[in-house]
Amino acid sequence: MTSKYDYVTYAPLPAENAVVLPLYYHPNRHRHSYLRRCLYSVACVAILAFLVFLLYPSDPTIQLSRIRLNHIRVNSSPGPTLDLSFSLTIKVQNRDFFSLSYDSLAVSVGYRGRELGLVRSKGGKVRARGRSYVNATLELDGLEIIHDAFYLIEDLTKGVIPFDTDTEVKGQLGLLFFEIPLKARVECEVYVNTNDQSVVRQDCYPA
């Protein structure tokens, strides 16, 4: 006699009859996900490079925008001396996106490798991506030129005297809470006509 509820057991299938289905990935979905990751990486690199370009400090550029010879005179008594006066205008350009403060601007004038005189201007501030013009006047009276008298007489005979100028500016870049020191320097060769006391030519290059 059987019970009301009969229990039926099932035997497991043999291993050789089992079928394993591989996982299926949609090709378009996989490709779109890869493209999104690539675009995201490129965008992050581009933004980082742009921020570095904006924030990375660069030295200011200075240019001798104008030089004028006020007067020049050679004195022979009691000894060979030189009276000389130059008026210069220096352009300081800030290429950064932060303001630039400079302590002073120094300009020296020399003749045939020997410094004749040096003039310093007061400090100032140049706004971000801006420029500033600094005026300076160099006065030399009774400068002894014993060692250069021969060359000076020769240049006076030609009517053109070559001078060299060396301009240097030092400052700090106000980057958030930091002050980054910056400096720039430019050297120029200036040829002055002694007849009308005008500048014939000037060649400048960064030093």
Coil, helix or strand for 89? Answer: strand
Q: How far is CA 174 from CA 97, 112, 124, 147, 185, in A?
A: 10, 39, 13, 46, 20
- Render pLDDT for 161-175 as a digit per residue (tens, 0 to 9): 898 989 998 888 766
**Run of H or E residues at 165:** strand 160-175
- What is the reported pLDDT for 66? 82
Which CATH number applies to 61-206: 3.40.50.1370, 2.60.40.10, 1.25.40.10, 2.30.42.10?
2.60.40.10
Coil, helix or strand for 123? Answer: coil
Report pTM.
Answer: 0.66
Average pLDDT over residues 90-116: 86
Q: How confident is the model at residue 8 (pLDDT cuts 50, 70, 90)?
A: low
- Render pLDDT for 15-31 as a digit per residue (tens, 0 to 9): 555 555 555 555 566 66
> CA 11 to CA 22: how far, in whole Å?
26
- To the nearest whole number, what is the mean pLDDT of the chain? 77
> CA 88 to CA 139: how far, in whole Å?
11
